[in-house]
A and B are shown apart, each in its own frame.
Chain A
Amino acid sequence: MIIKQISVFLENKPGTLAEVLSVLDRHNINLRAMSVADTADFGILRLVVNEPDKVEQALKGASLAVKTTPVLAMKVSDKPGGLLAEVKKLTTAGINIEYVYAFAAPAAEEARVVLKVDDLAKAEKVLKGDKAAEGGEGPNFYW
């Protein structure tokens, strides 16, 4: 399914991540997933949360550069080759993956993968009907 991912610009200096996390904490937001892409000068923090619109407003209110990007979220089985099967489908359809981050939930025997792709609609279609694609819970899903 397509979900809203929140990206935040982080200056490369001590305390910037803590600043973002304390905003989330003040608004009682629980993080579902996160990753940081870093360069020599700055980083981009990417977040998946249960109330993306509220979080976006809260972070903007704290004078941070924030952007909401639609990304693909999917569930894969937590076993060897689980992700490969799904990625192959996208590759076969000629979809380019711009970035990806993933994490496993061993208790549920499944893993969650967030993908930024160049053709979101097509990617969703390719994975649709497949058990792997998340679905049914609306945009404000909760993992």
Chain B
Amino acid sequence: MFWNKPIETMNRPELAAVQTTRLRDTIDRVYRQVPFFRSRMQAAGLLPEDIASLEDLARLPFTTKQDMRDNYPYGLFAVPLAEIVRIHASSGTTGKPTVVGYTKRDIGIWSEVMARTLTAAGANRQSFIQVAYGYGLFTGGLGVHYGAELVGASVIPVSSGNTARQIMLMKDFGTTLLACTPSYALYIAETLGEMGLEPKDLSLRAGVFGAEPWSERMRKEIEERLAIKAIDIYGLSEIIGPGVASECECQDGLHINEDHFYPEIINPQTGETLPDGEKGELVLTTITKEGMPMIRYRTRDLTVLTHKPCACGRTLVRMGKVLGRSDDMLIIRGVNVFPSQVETVLLGLGETSPYYQLIVDREDNLDKLTVLVEVTESMFSDEVRRLETLEHKIEAALGSVLGVTAQVRLVGPKSIERSEGKAKRVIDNRKL
């Protein structure tokens, strides 16, 4: 099923022409409107007219999350603030969130790409779409919501949490499509069994799952336990949110909506552009966004691209499932967590050593984060309650900065392995 067949099946030369026009327009706009991009281009000795073709894009410098932090909160916006109709944000690495802004037209683009995503998963006007992504600053909930409304489906905006109630609503309202993180989908499947229900008691047919990496094995488990088709979707708030790319019924790679987001794969070490089929870091350029265009944004997600035709008929390029990260970011319950954030919190408290380790486990299909913190002489007390108070203090500080609950466990001095090179900050025991 297609939402926008002419675009989704457009032949490559035609698509390239559309992309070129849009890219040139975008470069022209950011050069005029965003001092950051203008000075970057000037530093590289480039004028907007130097970017005449898609190949010329590689001459432009990359944009990183650090650039967003440096321009917090509105420095990268390309329109007057009065034109901004929505602000979203994701957790930042230093406690400050990464802010993104949308114009009315951007919300329309977002709805369009999400409508394509949902339609590819089988949604239509008759569907009941339960949005169990969080609503709020996180882009997941509202992104799916607007797409579902554009499709004309009936939206059930439950947001995340309260699993037994989610299931009751699913059953009573006749939900046909579920949108949430894949780990939450598994948790829902488990709770369904505990409630004495079976998939046949529900009307569920498909689910669109994203915001965290998941494997084929996990897909199989979700599909079996909920008796649905599980579709992988991809997006990031810096680009637009969910809707950047999504699988079709072939479940063989995610079609990137490249009439809006132009993808490249680079070698994360050298920055050099890599050809189809070679694994590297995904770099995205928005070519239609008004509020906050992004030029060559380094997603840090490792994947491969293929232009091979897909059996579904779409001509849009496909990216493979995300294979990992080129930085040390963790995704815990859909929330981005950097070990450096933990370090900032610990050093900020001024009582703990800079030796720490993050241990991630998956229990009952939910991610669990434990932070090991070495006890120093200065923080050690012979009184249990003082140490427990310290643990709780660190837990509270981590929780508010990371946006996820972390359990702190004090460990002995020098018990965390020292390494001569890069410290081993993370032990990820999750089996995807």
**Smallest CB–CB gap between A137 and chain B, Å?**
23
Contacting residue for A65 out of B376, B383, B384, B388, CB 8 A: B376
**Do A46 and B382 contact each other (CB < 8 Å), given the known contacts A65-B376, A66-B377?**
yes
Alpha-carbon separation in the docked complex, A11 to B387 (Å): 13
Q: Does B72 contact A (CB under 8 A)?
A: no
**Smallest CB–CB gap between B233 and chain A, Å?**
39
Contacting residue for A7 out of B382, B411, B413, CB 8 A: B382
**Smallest CB–CB gap between B285 and chain A, Å?**
48
SS class, residues of chain A in contact with chain B? strand
**Do A39 and B375 contact each other (CB < 8 Å), given the known contacts A9-B410, A65-B412?**
no
Interface residues of B in 368-395 (CB under 8 A from A): 375-377, 380-384, 387-388, 391
Contacting residue for B377 out of A16, A39, A67, CB 8 A: A67
Alpha-carbon separation in the docked complex, A43 to B387 (Å): 10
Q: Which residues of A contact B415 (CB under 8 A)?
A: 11
Interface residues of B in 220-275 (CB under 8 A from A): none
A44 lies within 8 A of B384 (CB): yes
Q: Does B409 contact A (CB under 8 A)?
A: yes
Interface residues of A in 1-46 (CB under 8 A from B): 5, 7, 9-11, 16, 37, 39, 41-42, 44, 46
**Chain A residue nearest in CB terms to B374:** A65
B412 lies within 8 A of A67 (CB): no
Contacting residue for B380 out of A41, A63, A65, CB 8 A: A65
Q: Does B414 contact A (CB under 8 A)?
A: yes
Instruction: Mark each residue of chain A from 98 to 135: 1 if its CB lies under 8 Å from any CB of chain B, else 0.
Output: 11000000000000000010000000000000000000
Q: Which residues of A contact B377 (CB under 8 A)?
A: 60, 65-67
B412 lies within 8 A of A5 (CB): no
B384 lies within 8 A of A37 (CB): yes
**Do A5 and B382 contact each other (CB < 8 Å), given the known contacts A44-B387, A66-B377?**
yes
**Chain A residue nearest in CB terms to B382:** A7
**Do A42 and B410 contact each other (CB < 8 Å), given the known contacts A65-B376, A67-B380?**
yes
B413 lies within 8 A of A65 (CB): yes
Instruction: Mark each residue of chain A from 48 to 66: 1 if its CB lies under 8 Å from any CB of chain B, else 0.
Output: 0000000000001001111
For A, the interface residue count at a CB cutoff of 8 angstroms equals: 22
B384 lies within 8 A of A11 (CB): no
B410 lies within 8 A of A41 (CB): yes
A98 lies within 8 A of B388 (CB): no
Q: Which residues of B contact A9 (CB under 8 A)?
A: 375, 380, 410, 412-413
Q: Does A91 contact B (CB under 8 A)?
A: no
**Chain A residue nearest in CB terms to B381:** A67
Q: Which residues of A contact B380 (CB under 8 A)?
A: 7, 9, 65-67
Alpha-carbon separation in the docked complex, A37 to B380 (Å): 14
Interface residues of A in 60-90 (CB under 8 A from B): 60, 63-67, 69
**Chain A residue nearest in CB terms to B384:** A37
B412 lies within 8 A of A41 (CB): no
B413 lies within 8 A of A63 (CB): yes
A98 lies within 8 A of B383 (CB): yes
Contacting residue for A39 out of B382, B388, B414, CB 8 A: B388
**Do A69 and B412 contact each other (CB < 8 Å), given the known contacts A9-B375, A44-B387?**
no
Alpha-carbon separation in the docked complex, A16 to B410 (Å): 14
Q: Which residues of A contact B388 (CB under 8 A)?
A: 39
**Smallest CB–CB gap between A85 and chain B, Å?**
26
A11 lies within 8 A of B412 (CB): yes
B382 lies within 8 A of A69 (CB): yes
Alpha-carbon separation in the docked complex, A11 to B384 (Å): 13
Q: Which residues of B contact A7 (CB under 8 A)?
A: 380-382
Listed A/B pairs (11) with beta-carbon separation below 8 Å: A10-B412, A11-B415, A41-B409, A41-B410, A44-B382, A44-B384, A64-B412, A64-B413, A65-B375, A66-B380, A116-B382
B residues near A (Cβ < 8 Å) are 375-377, 380-384, 387-388, 391, 409-415
Minimum-distance CB pairs A-B, first 3:
A7-B382, A65-B380, A63-B414
